[in-house]
């Protein structure tokens, strides 16, 4: 008996280091993203395979071919992209309109080649510090270069639903949902058409609120959320099985992280823009997106969005693989386990491919 006890004690002593080393290795495993939404499309076999290799799980498709490639490589396919429709463009101040016309090259001769036009407008965007719909410092003008339909127009509402009909009716059989994008204000704060101004005045009166900028911001946020939810409801009425995946862009400056007020199933909220942000801001935004995702709708999921442009020499900021890695590490440290990225095609370029593969796939 004494001998048996001695043997058991020896075995226990030997097994403890093994058990302990197992615990340590599990504790030291780096966190990774288990779901990655990509704003790209699997255009061919090689691209689809590379997306799969870096852990992309959800992607947009536009044909039977890209649908079949997505499914072959284990990615959930979506159709789209839906953006607001209608002839009534948002109205801005005269100063904002001049900014828009300048950076979008409205004064340039029509006969200019696309390359020359792009060269000039890129130069103008850099000159003006254009941030492509991202956040700006308080009081700094940053109007979008493209036009966006007014959400508050009854006719535009109707035409937006007809646009959704066309997208849904032409969707490749088997897709699981739709992408939303480009839904916000050209000036990132509001529309000043006659209807919006009248409805804002009515909103303030009904709420018994004084006419201040802060309260006008409440109206414009409500109008934006109302439009999002009306279009999402319409999608669900036509296709109850569909999921809506969206990136909230351009930013709504008075409340950049308003997305949890929408019914979006997978709501991409920017935590790291194309232009590098301080990492403490990336961390704070990620924390908010995750903790407050279900404040208004239990089925909503907040997805940290990271902007990426691998090309150099453009007005859109170039982000290095090193900067991208720091941002992904920060999002993971803040608790993020899902991720959304645009530009999708840049994810598989050399240098960036290796970073995503490091953080977005299961360890072998």
Which residues is 36 bridged to in the sheet? 339
In a domain, 206, yes or no: no
| pLDDT at 229 exceeding the cut of 90 | yes
Handedness of CA 179, 185, 186, 189 (dihedral sign): negative
Find, among 292, 355, 305, the residue nearest to 329 by Cα: 355
The whole-number pLDDT of residue 7 equals 43
Each residue's pLDDT tens digit, 193-220: 999 999 999 999 999 999 999 999 999 9
In a domain, 283, yes or no: yes
* CATH assignment of the domain containing 240: 3.20.20.80
| pLDDT at 19 exceeding the cut of 50 | no
Which residues, 6+ apart, have CB-to-CB distance to 257 below 8 Å?
A: 269, 285, 288, 289, 292
Between vectors from CA 246 to CA 157 and to CA 145, what angle results, nearest 5°?
70
Entry pTM? 0.90
In a domain, 203, yes or no: no
| pLDDT at 364 exceeding the cut of 90 | no
In a domain, 64, yes or no: yes
In a domain, 20, yes or no: no
Each residue's pLDDT tens digit, 90-144: 999 999 999 999 999 999 999 999 999 999 999 999 999 999 999 988 878 899 9
The whole-number pLDDT of residue 137 equals 83
Judge whether 37 and 266 are in contact, CB under 8 Å: yes
The whole-number pLDDT of residue 28 equals 52
What CA–CA distance (Å, rounded) separates 14 from 55?
Answer: 39
Find, among 48, 320, 84, 333, the residue nearest to 184 by Cα: 84
What CA–CA distance (Å, rounded) separates 239 from 233?
Answer: 10
In a domain, 210, yes or no: no
| pLDDT at 39 exceeding the cut of 80 | yes
If phi > 0 it is left, if psi is from -120 to 50 it is alpha, else beta; for residue 188 that is left
DSSP-derived 3-state class of residue 263: coil
In a domain, 163, yes or no: yes
Q: Greater confidence, 179 or 136? A: 179
Between vectors from CA 234 to CA 228 and to CA 240, what angle results, nearest 5°?
115
The b/e string for 204-215 (b: 16+ C-beta within 10 A; e otherwise) is beeeeeeeeeee
What is the average per-residue pLDDT within 168-188? Answer: 97
What CA–CA distance (Å, rounded) separates 152 from 129?
Answer: 30
| pLDDT at 170 exceeding the cut of 90 | yes
Provide the number of structural domains found in the chain: 1
Q: Which domain holds residue 295?
A: 31-89+149-185+226-359
| Cis amide prior to 343 (ω within 30 degrees) | yes
Which residues, 6+ apart, have CB-to-CB distance to 255 below 8 Å?
A: 217, 221
In a domain, 119, yes or no: no
């Amino acid at each position: 008996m004494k001998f048996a006890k001695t043997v058991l004690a020896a075995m226990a002593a030997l097994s403890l280091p093994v058990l302990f080393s197992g615990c340590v290795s599990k504790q030291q495993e780096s966190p990774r993203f288990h779901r990655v939404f990509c704003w790209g499309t699997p255009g061919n076999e090689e691209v689809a395979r590379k997306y799969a290799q870096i852990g992309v799980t959800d992607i947009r498709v536009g044909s039977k071919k890209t649908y079949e490639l997505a499914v072959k490589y284990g990615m959930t396919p979506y159709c789209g992209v839906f953006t607001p429709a209608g002839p009534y463009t948002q109205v801005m101040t005269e100063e904002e309109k001049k900014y828009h016309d300048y950076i979008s090259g409205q004064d340039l001769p029509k006969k200019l080649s696309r390359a020359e036009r792009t060269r000039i407008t890129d130069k103008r965007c850099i000159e003006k510090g254009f941030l492509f719909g991202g956040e700006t410092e308080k009081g700094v003008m940053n109007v979008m270069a493209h036009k966006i339909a007014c959400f508050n127009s009854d006719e535009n509402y109707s035409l937006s639903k007809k646009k959704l009909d066309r997208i849904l009716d032409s969707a490749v059989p088997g897709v699981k949902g739709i992408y939303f994008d480009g839904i916000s204000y050209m000036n990132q704060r509001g529309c000043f058409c006659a209807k919006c101004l009248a409805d804002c005045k009515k909103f303030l009166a009904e709420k018994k609120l004084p006419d201040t900028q802060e309260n006008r911001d409440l109206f414009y946020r409500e109008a934006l959320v109302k439009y999002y939810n009306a279009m999402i409801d319409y999608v669900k009425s036509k296709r109850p099985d569909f999921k809506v995946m969206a990136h909230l862009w351009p930013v709504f400056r008075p409340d950049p992280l308003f997305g949890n007020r929408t019914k979006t199933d997978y709501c991409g909220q920017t935590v790291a823009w194309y232009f590098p942000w301080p990492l403490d801001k990336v961390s704070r935004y990620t924390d908010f997106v995750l903790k407050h995702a279900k404040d208004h709708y239990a089925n909503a999921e907040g997805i940290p969005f990271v902007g990426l442009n691998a090309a150099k020499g453009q007005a859109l900021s170039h982000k290095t693989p090193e900067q991208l890695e720091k941002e992904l590490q920060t999002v993971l440290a803040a608790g993020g386990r899902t991720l959304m990225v645009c530009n999708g095609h840049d994810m598989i370029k050399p240098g960036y491919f290796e970073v995503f593969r490091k953080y977005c796939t299961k360890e072998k």
